[in-house]
Structure 1
Amino acid sequence: MTVEIIIVLALLALAIVFFAMEWLPVDIITLSLLVALVVSGILTPAEAFSGFANEMVIILASVFVLSSAMLKSGVMDWLSDSIRRYGGRTETRAKGILLTITAATSAFLSNTVATAMLMPAVLRIARDAEASPSRFLMPVAYASILGGACTLIGTSTNIAGSAMAAQLGLQPFSMFEFLGIGLLMATSGIVWLVFFSNRLTPAHAPVEPGEEIGAQAYLSALVVPEGSRAEGRAIGALKLGTIGVTALSVVRAGKRLNPHHRRKLAGGDLLIVRAPRESLLRAEADLGLAIDASQHFSDRDVEHDEIAMAEAVLLAQSNLVGRTLKQLDFHRRYGVRVVAIHRPGHARPAKIENMRLQVGDVLLVQGAQQDLESLRGNRNLWGLLEVESRVLTHRQGAITVGTVLTAVMLGAWGVLPLSITLLSAAIALVMARFVTMEEAYRFIEWRLLVLIAGLTSFGGAMIETGAAMFLAELIVGVTLPFGVTVSMAAFALLTVLLTQPMSNAAAALTVIPVAAASAETLGVDARALVILVTLSASLSFITPLEPACLLVYGPGRYHFRDFVRAGLPLTVICLTLLLIFLPVFWPL
């Protein structure tokens, strides 16, 4: 083992630890790897940054812009209406139609976007079928992951794998190269979810009339303004329960008091409550209470009718996790105020500005329309609810959809490179003002671009130094005596396991160089192994850490173990199909 191999493997181990522990943002970790490789003399600056010149970076950036245009086109609203119209009132039929449309949508939009946009329709379908929403939400997240594996642009993981294939001197993936095996896994997965997963998918709470996203109970604080209708009245006299508000505690002059129904409120009291969003708004309007955020609304004056509310969820790789709103100076950073926090299973009264944020927290935020809109492209906070903004007319929406489909087909048919067709479509929509430049830049997930570009270069370093071959020989040495299929299964399983602490793309880019280095020893095609690892990286079903799963975690009232129980059989099904049919589509 050479010194260079030791350095590269040490950096790889550190990267996996930092990715898993989330001590630093993923882009900082990735760029630090490149700096270390250059400083150690393993790579030249040109080699370290060669990943940023890969055309897959352009494809991914263009996909983000086109996805934003598709959202504004109204096509997702049309899909939601169609699902509700034809879903029927039986759980099996409704789930079958819902999952099929979700998978088809996710083949061209990101898993997270497809899941988030269809969630309101999902809850209405569950209500119509008189079934628990948890029976539907988890399968929808799984269907979006399955659909994303069908096309090159369906998930960033496929684009990342294609970039690494090019870095290794192999042919990049084509637009519909995965369609055959992707449809096989998606169809099998949907059949399993519709007919056989009910015993594994929990039914934590029945659907109640009118339940939608936003009906979950938030932890918030209501101030009793001086001279308000609530001042001097007993808590019981306010009849908070009739509007859906539960009093948890009263804070007076820094002291926490029991919210006894006979306790009279004084001006300046802070009433810590648990209530849905609409109930908080009714408490303001009907009782004269004020939602407290310990900050003024904005640094600039805005008209009252410009102020709106939206919900945003804290994602797994957010750098806000573990910090309080007070520490973050949240309002100054984002221009909006957090008025309430929903945390599944949390029932203790607390002032929200002192709560340490956790993955899966749903924040109810209030601010100017333009500030709320900016959250929709933020990697730390994912906007769940539609925020009022300029939408496209039906004619503009049709042009947008036609432009995107034309770009996809021209690239798939090889008329022009896919990077050129998608970039041209994005430029055309921006020039037509269907998407503003600000929206285009905001929807691009820059951290993901840096991650893919940087780890692509790091994968090249693993190949050049022999580190990939060293790891490949270890894995093959243990598994080859049991057959080539077992060795391939080991690479697939390793990838799936790494997707739990790491992002899917990072896991794929970590394992691909090792798998490719083992191709000669195994006597199989290196490109087939790259495809095996790339598709395996998309099978993140066994934990809720995949963003699409995290979006449904709170509204579905799931527990971590629910994903393990329901996702493990689906993972086994997909991995088995992948190992059986990979040689059929890509001869070894």
Structure 2
Amino acid sequence: MEQLLVFLILGIALVLFAWEKIRYDLVAFIALGALVLFGLVPTEQAFVGFAHPAVITVAAVLIISRALQYSGLVDEIGRVVSKVSTNSLVQIIILSLIVAIASAFINNIGALAIIMPVAIQLARKSRTPPSSILMPIAFASILGGMMTLIGTPPNIIIATFRQDMSGEAFGMFDFAPVGTILTFIGLLFITLIGWRLLPKRQTAGSANRLFQIDNYITELKLTASSKLNGKRINQMNQIAHSEVLALGIIRHGVRLHAPSPFVELMENDILILEADTDSLKAFIDNTATVLVGGKEMHQQAAGSKDIHMMEAIVMGDSPIIGKTAVDIHLRSQYNINLLAIARREQQIWQRIGRISFKTGDVLLLQGRSSNLTGAINDLHCLPLAQRDLSMGKPRKVFLSLSIFMLAIIAVVTGLLPVQIAFSIAALLFILLNILPLREMYTSVDWPMIALLAAMIPVGEAFETSGAAQVLTDRILHIGTDGPVWMVLAMVMMVTIGLSNIINNAATVVLMAPIGIRISGQLQVSPDPFLMAIAVGASCAFLTPIGHQSNTLVMGPGGYKFSDYWRMGLPLTLLMILLGIPLILFFWPF
């Protein structure tokens, strides 16, 4: 009965993970809560995951990643990368290599976020479709995480499972022999062949911007007979029986940007509206307003030169995920307009004030530069344009690298366990004022931390209930007539399948006990199975939902769901075909 309950709860959790309507950390806590209620996880053990070394290490690595950005090191990298050749192949090679190397030592999402705006700017300058370059660097960021213990959370989790099993965790560079070779081979495929398999798709038909908004912006004048005279802006759509967005008002030759919903309209006001053809026609017919002819006044009115548009992508740790523009008071708090949203295979223009934001959404924002910059920083979004690169102080760069290298040396030499060494490093970054205290908290991906903390007791229940043993027996039964390496390949392929559907950290928590049990029953070393699971968890190349790096590039690259298979499937097969012999060479049974 316990096994059935565990399988049922995990099955529902897997469906919810893949469905994506409920955020993954909440899904993990739903599963944990259900297991606690049914007595499968003791109440006193429900929250021990928050003190788990893997959770502490992941949090520390995220803080260190942000500190290295603040130190000025990232600015120097961006400055060099922005000067690369206009040749597409050279750009892809250099950017992919830099992202992969950076991902080995800092969070791979952070590494991608550093390079992605530069990549888009280079693509636009050379009039190359962003679709040719963004997926390659996203895949490179995933590959790079294979190379070190801290490169990706699954490696950290795998190391703690080995610690619990044998008393000795994997070291900082134990992943390097297999991971570095696979990363190198993967980069060769991506840069020489893979990017050519991708669609050469100009997003929204524009080489300069993701969105073409000009055709949707119109100016209407309120005449003496207009039904809007004396009415508030928030009454417009109800009166007009139409859905339009008021971007601004020109009154006496002065532009009022992002006006309050309570501003009263007056005769001779010129409304700057965003609307499609049908909505605009209904608005004009029902309000007795008239189109303004001639040169567009909203570009000439006083104050218009300060108004700009900027594209920004919603990052995984953004506080606006699950909320709407109305919920966060985008206009009243930041004085900016949300003009459009690009999400996966579609661009959303209408009723966008009621659309809940998701990770990877590309927002088209309009406002004054200072307001845009402040809002994008506060909302944890990534501007999709080349950012102003500020030269970091050499002292800060050198000091930051010194702290980081000392932490790595402490782990490699066995002087300190990884969670202690990196926690001390994170603390030093704060005490030495390299990273502001506020940024220490905002740099942590709290949904990821919550997911790990909840899934650790879930994984323990999966093992103690006997459910893991049932799956172990099933895998061994299927591979009973084949060699041991075939069982290893099956474990790796199951891991790859799960990591393309659910979060790869959750995948590792579920698969590691199975790998350990299989090795025990086969009476072989568990290390090759743990390595196969680690590699499989970093092979989320088949879907945009398997890894945040894939999600982040979907909107800016204009990719469809099926585009990931074009390059992802051959890359995945390459990782399996080469990964198994490499694992067995460096980690024999």
> Under TM normalisation by the shorter chain, which class is it?
0.7 to 0.9
Q: CA deviation at 1:577?
A: 1.5
Does residue 120 of structure 1 match 2:117? yes
Which of 95, 102, 113 is the matching residue for 2:92? 95
Distance 2:297 2:178 in 1: 53
Question: Equivalences for 1:240-389 in 2 at 5 Å?
Answer: 248-249=276-277, 255=283, 264-265=291-292, 286-287=300-301, 311-314=311-314, 324-326=324-326, 328-331=327-330, 338-343=337-342, 346=346, 349-355=349-355, 357=357, 360-365=360-365, 367=371, 372-376=376-380
Aligned partner letter, 2:570:
P
Residue in structure 1 matched with residue 586 of structure 2 by the alignment: 585
Match of residue 152, structure 2, among 150, 155, 162 = 155
Shift of 1:406: 2.0
Match of 2:10 among 9, 12, 26: 12
Q: Which moved more, 1:214-223 or 1:56-65?
A: 214-223
1:57: which partner in 2? 55
Task: Return the offset for 1:151.
Answer: 0.9
Cα-to-partner distance string for 1:123-163 (whole Å, 9 max, x where unaligned): 34445666433221111111111111111111122223223
Partner of 1:44: 42
Two-structure CA RMSD over aligned residues (Å): 3.8
Q: How much does 1:464 deviate? A: 1.6
Q: Is residue 104–residue 145 contact of structure 2 (8 Å, CA) maintained in 1? A: yes
CA-CA distance at 1:45 after TM superposition: 3.1
Paired residue type of 2:149: L
TM-score with structure 1 setting the length = 0.80
Alignment partners' CA distance in 2, 1:264 and 1:316 = 42
1:410 aligns with 2:410: yes
Q: Distance in 2 between matches of 1:283 and 1:164?
A: 65
Could you say if the C-alpha distance between residues 347 and 465 of structure 1 is closer, same or farther in structure 2, counting changes exceeding 3 Å?
Answer: closer
Cα separation, 1, equivalents of 2:52 and 2:274: 55
Q: Which residue of 1 aligns with 2:28?
A: 30
Mapping for residues 186-197 of structure 1, pairs under 5 Å: 186-197=183-194
1: CA distance between counterparts of 2:310 and 2:423?
31
Shift of residue 500, structure 1, vs aligned partner: 2.5
- Give the 3-state SS of the residue equivalent to 2:549 in structure 1: helix
Structure 1 residue 457 displacement after superposition? 1.9
Correspondent of 2:248 among 220, 223, 235: 223
Residues 142 and 16 of structure 1: CA distance in aligned 2, closer, same or farther (over 3 Å): same
Q: Which residue of structure 2 lines up, in the alignment, with residue 432 of structure 1?
A: 432
1:526 aligns with 2:529: no
Give the SS at the match of 1:223.
Answer: strand
Alignment gaps of 5+ in structure 1: 239-244, 267-281, 292-303
For residues 547-558 of structure 1, the aligned pairs below 5 Å read: 547-558=548-559
Contact 1:81 1:121 in 2 (8 A): no
- In 1, distance between residues paired with 2:544 and 2:572? 14
Q: Is the 8 A contact 2:132 2:196 kept in 1?
A: no
Q: Is the 8 A contact 1:88 1:129 kept in 2?
A: no
Q: Give the Å deviation of 1:401.
A: 2.2
Deviation at 1:539, TM superposition (A): 0.7
With 440-449 and 72-81 compared, the bigger mean Cα shift is at 72-81
What residue is the counterpart of 2:574 in the other structure?
573
Whether contact under 8 Å (1:314, 1:359) holds in the other structure is yes
Residues 507-548 of structure 1 deviation map (CA, whole Å, 9 limit, x = unaligned): 221222222222223343223212211221111111122211
Aligned residue type for 1:429: F
**Secondary structure of 2:29 counterpart:** helix
Task: Give the distance between the partners of 1:481 and 1:336, measured in 2 at CA.
Answer: 68
Larger CA deviation: 183-192 vs 346-355: 346-355
Q: CA, structure 1 residues 510+286, in 2 after alignment: closer, same or farther (shift >3 Å)? A: farther
Shift of 1:388: 8.4
- Retained in 2: the 8 A contact 1:375–1:383? no
1:231-282, CA deviations, whole angstroms, 9 ceiling, x for partnerless residues? 96999xx9xxxxxx99734867983769xxx95249xxxxxxxxxxxxxxx9
Superposed CA offset, 1:358-403 (max 9, x none): 6642124564866543333xxxx66666888998523222211221
SS at match of 1:560: coil
Name which of structure 1's ranges 526-535 and 469-478 shifts more when overlaid on structure 2: 526-535
CA drift at 1:584: 1.2
**1:322, 1:410 → 2: CA distance?**
41
Judged with a 3 Å threshold, the aligned counterparts in structure 2 of structure 1 residues 84 and 436 are, in CA distance, closer, same or farther, namely: closer
Supply the distance in 2 between the matched residues of 1:503 and 1:462 (Cα, whole angstroms). Answer: 17
Give the AA of the match of 2:3: I
> In structure 2, the residue corresponding to 1:153 is in which secondary structure?
coil
CA distance in structure 2 between the partners assigned to 1:250 and 1:257 by the alignment = 11
- Structure 1 residue 468: deviation in Å? 0.4
Describe the SS at the equivalent of 1:224. strand
Whether the 8 Å contact between 1:469 and 1:517 is mirrored in structure 2 is yes
After superposition, give the CA deviation of every residue in 1:163-205 in whole Å (9 maximum; x if it has no partner): 3444455632211111111111111111111222243122113
Alpha-carbon contact 1:133-1:205 (below 8 Å) kept: yes
SS at match of 2:338: strand
Quote the Cα distance in structure 1 between the aligned partners of 2:493 and 2:85: 38
8 Å Cα contact 2:429-2:435 kept in structure 1: yes
Cα distance in structure 2, aligned partners of 1:141 and 1:155: 14
| Aligned length in residues | 538
2:221 corresponds to which residue?
none
* Alignment check: 8 A CA contact 1:336 1:372 kept: no
C-alpha spacing 1:372/1:44, structure 2 compared with 1 (3 Å): same
Aligned to 1:467: 467
Residue aligning to 1:295:
none
Q: Which amino acid letter does the alignment assign opposite residue 133 of structure 2?
A: F
Give me the whole-angstrom Cα distance separating, in 1, the residues matched to 2:435 and 2:575.
Answer: 37
Q: Give 3-state SS (helix, strand or coil) of 2:473's partner.
A: helix
1:68 equivalent in structure 2? 66
The secondary structure found in structure 2 opposite 1:123 is: helix
Q: Determine the structure 2 residue equivalent to 1:274.
A: none
Q: Give the Cα–Cα distance (whole angstroms) in 2 for the partners of residues 524 and 256 of structure 1.
A: 77
Amino acid across the alignment from 2:249: V
Q: What is the CA-CA distance between 1:580 and the residue it aligns to?
A: 1.3
Q: 1:341 to 1:247 in 2, by over 3 A?
A: closer
Change (3 A) 1:169 1:339: same
**Counterpart in 2 of 1:301?**
none
The answer for the alignment partner of 1:277 in structure 2 is: none
TM-score (norm 2): 0.80
Distance in structure 1 (CA, Å) of the matches to 2:573 and 2:170: 25
Shift of 1:337: 5.2
> Which amino acid is 1:224 matched to?
I
Deviates more, 1:246-255 or 1:117-126: 246-255
Match runs of 1:477-516 below 5 Å: 477-516=477-516
